[in-house]
Amino acid sequence: MIDTTRTDIPEGEERLRLDVEDGIGVLTLCRPAKLNAWSWESTRQLGLYADRIRFDPSVRAVLLRAEGRAFCAGIDVSAPGGAITGRSGAERARAYYEGIRWAHERFAAFARLPQPVVAAVQGYCLGFGFELALMADVRIAARDAVFALPEAQLGLAVDAGGDLRIAREAGTGWAKFLALTGRRLDATTAERLHLVQLVADETELEATARTVAAEIAANAPLAVQGVKRAVDAYAEAPLTAALDRTALSAALTLTSEDAAEGYAAKGARRAPRFEGK
C-alpha cells in the first residue's frame, strides 16, 4: 500500500489535476493512457484535493471530468502497492479492512464537500469509476457512456458503496440486479433510473457539464451549500454504518481465493471457476 502520510503530489505522478476557473474547481482524472484506472494513490490525491477545495472560497462548484475516451475503467490492478500483504489470512483481511476504511474517509471528504460536484462522464465508467461518479451531486453522461459494477464477476464485493448509492437513487431492486449480475447500462437507461440527470452528445458533454456547474456557481454560496447539506442529511442518514459493513465485506473478498481466480480468469479470458472460498 502507499504511504498515506504524504501530502505532496510529485510531478509526473499526478492521477488528478485541479484547476480553478471562474468559481469552478475543475478536477480532472488525467491518466487517459490507463483509461483513468483507479489506485490507492488516486485515492490519496483525491483526499488532498478535497481538503484544498473545501476551504477555498473561490470554488463555488466542482466539475469532475476525465481526459481521454473513458471516465474511469475501474481499479488499476497493475498499480504499485495494489495488493496488501500479511503474515496470515486474518492479518491481510484486517489490513484490507483498515485500508478500505481509510479510502472511505477520503471518499467521504470528497462526497461531503460543501460545494456541489457535477460529474461529466464519457465512455467506460466501470467498477470504482461508477462509484466515483455516484459520489457527485449531479451526473451528466455522454451518449457513449457505459456504466457497470462488475466486481462480483471477479469474485469481489463492491467496496466503495456504489451499490448502496444505487439503492438510494434507483431502489434496492436495481442495486441488487446491477451488482449481482455485473450488467452494463447505457446512458439512456442510467438516466431513466435517475443515476444520471442529463444525457448529452459526446461533443457537447464538456459544455453541458460546465454550464450546469456555472449555474450552480452563480448562485448564493451559503444557500447552495445549505441545500446540499439538507438533502444529504436526509438521503445519507444510514450510509456511514452501511459503509463500515461494506469495508468488512470487501476486505474478506479481497483476501479470498475466488478473487484470485476471478482476476486470473479475466487475464486468461476464460470463465472463472468460483468455489466460495
Q: Are strands 16-21 and 61-66 parallel, antiparallel or unpaired?
A: unpaired
How many Å apart are CA 210 and CA 217, to the nearest integer?
10
Assess whether 131 carries a catalytic annotation. yes
Q: Which three cell numbers stand for residue 252?
A: 474478506
- Which among 14, 41, 105, 151 is annotated as catalytic? 151
The number of beta carbons lying within 10 Å of the beta carbon of residue 227 is: 15
For 211, residues 6+ apart whose C-beta sits below 8 A from its C-beta are: none
Determine the distance from the C-alpha atom of residue 104 to the mean position of all C-alpha atoms in its chain, rounded to a whole number: 10
Dihedral through CA 193, CA 73, CA 63, CA 231, nearest 10? 40
Assess whether 151 carries a catalytic annotation. yes
Cβ pair 72, 125 in contact under 8 A: yes
- Strand order across the beta sheet in which 124-126 lies: 124-126, 146-148, 185-186
Q: Is 258 helix (H, G, I), strand (E, B) or coil?
A: helix
- Which among 13, 41, 131, 169 is annotated as catalytic? 131
For 183, residues 6+ apart whose C-beta sits below 8 A from its C-beta are: 148, 177
Look-up: residue for cell 481499479? Answer: 75
Show which residues are catalytic: 131, 151
